[in-house]
Structure 1
Amino acid sequence: MTTLVLASQSPARLATLRAAGVDPVVIVSGVDETRLEGLPPAELALQLAELKCAAVAPRDEVPDGALVLGCDSVLELDGEALGKPGTPEEATRRWRSMRGRSGVLQTGHALHDTATGRTVSATASTTVHFADVSDDEVAAYVATGEPLHVAGAFTVDGLGGAFVTGIEGDHHNVVGVSLPLVRELTAELGHAWTDLWRARPTR
């Protein structure tokens, strides 16, 4: 078996991987997600994922022979990259702009093989259609605190799920990690996705 290290503190990514049979070791990268502002959305997501992966891969606590996965997501709307809003005011502004419209959730993925030193990376894109929610619904959702700390100010697997009317593409990508893409990257590094199932660290 091969151990996967998740270079992310996202509980949604961890839950998605666990539901798919992978029990990763979590090591938070500590990368400042605001350091690359101004890049196009897909490029921003990819570069942040690569930075997270690179920050964790050389650490002593990474098990021998592990694969290290870095991910980062932004919502692309009108060509702008929307990350975590951080404040109720910004989350409210975002939702008033997003409602009744569609955006593209861009998630960068970078996978590093500690045994060979190789890294492969790619971005997954999923179109998300938002409901035309009312001002009262926006206020109630923002008041929960959920949208403040997630990319694009929404979740599809939480309270925000009722405000998403449709998805074109990989559903898991909207949660924060594209399982089909990670499988492809794993294969590109010469490993089988099924070898990650319930893998445990050797030290």
Structure 2
Amino acid sequence: MTSLLLASASPARLATLRAAGLDPAVLVSGVDEPAVVQRYGVTDAEDVCLVLAKAKAEDVAANEDRPEDHLVLGCDSVLAVDLGAGVEVLGKPADAADAVRRWRAMRGRSGVLHTGHWLIDDREDGSGATIGGVASVTVHFADVTDAEIDAYVATGEPLQVAGAFTVDGLGGAFVRGIEGDHHAVVGVSLPLLRELAGEAGVAWPDLWAERPA
């Protein structure tokens, strides 16, 4: 078995990986996200999420307290949506007022949720690979009412996630449809992770916590 180290505090990512048969260790990165984006000078949504995923994976892989002999996975998600004045790249809302503003602008519209993945083979006898990719999914938002938006934001859930919405929580009822890998909207694309692991020389079943005899 090959072990995975998740460089993320997201409970949704962890739950998705566990549901897929993995049992990753978790070590949250200390990356200053705005500083990373500024350093790289990126503005496109796909570039933003990928450089942040890479920075998080590298930060954890360099942490002396990390568990050894793991594949290190960094992830980051951003939503690209036209709110009427051009496409905006949105991470987590700054506060409740920002979440309300976003929802009132994006209701009835569609956006693209981009999730960057970066995988580092930190195993002693591993490939040494450091590779990444982006999973992009179109999300169609329901035309929700002001009262529904206010109630949703009051729960605090949209303040914790990129784009101010979830599909696996209270926000699921406010999403009319998804085009693409729904796992990526939750925060980690299992098909993309399988491909990256394969490029690092690790077969997907080798990442399962338990394998049939």
TM-score range, shorter chain: over 0.9
1:80-159 matched pairs, under 5 angstroms: 80-115=88-123, 116-159=127-170
Distance 2:162 2:18 in 1: 21
Task: State whether structure 2 residue 184 is matched by structure 1 residue 165.
Answer: no
**Equivalent of 2:78, from 74, 80, 83?**
74
Which amino acid letter does the alignment assign opposite residue 81 of structure 1? V
Structure 1, unmatched stretches of 5+, are none
Structure 2 counterpart of 1:28: 28
Q: 1:48-68: CA deviations, max 9, x gaps?
A: 000000001122333333100
CA contact (8 A) 1:118 1:189 kept: yes
Aligned to 2:7: 7
SS of residue paired to 2:93:
coil
Structure 2, unaligned runs of 5 or more: none
| Structure 2 counterpart of 1:43, one-letter code | D
TM-score, normalization: structure 1? 0.95
Match of 2:201, as an amino acid?
Answer: G
Q: What RMSD, in angstroms, separates the aligned Cα atoms of the two structures?
A: 1.2
Amino acid across the alignment from 1:26 = V
> How far did residue 33 of structure 1 move?
2.0
Q: Deviations over 1:46-97 (max 9, x none)?
A: 0000000000112233333310000000011123210000311000000011
Report the TM-score when normalising by structure 2.
0.90
Native 8 Å contact 1:3 1:63 kept in 2: no
Q: Does structure 2 conserve the Cα–Cα contact (< 8 Å) formed by 1:86 and 1:149? A: no
SS in 2 for 1:34: helix
Identity %: 65
Query: In the alignment, which residue of structure 2 is the partner of 1:175?
Result: 186
* CA distance in structure 2 between the partners assigned to 1:125 and 1:109 by the alignment: 11
Kept in 2, the 8 Å contact 1:27–1:56? The answer is: yes
SS at 1:191 equivalent:
coil
Aligned residues: 199
Per-residue deviation at 1:114?
1.1
User: Matched residues in 2 for 1:70 and 1:110: separation?
Assistant: 5
CA deviation string 1:156-185 (max 9, x = no partner): 000000000100000000000000000000
Query: Once structures 1 and 2 are overlaid, which stretch shifts more, 133-142 or 31-40?
Result: 31-40
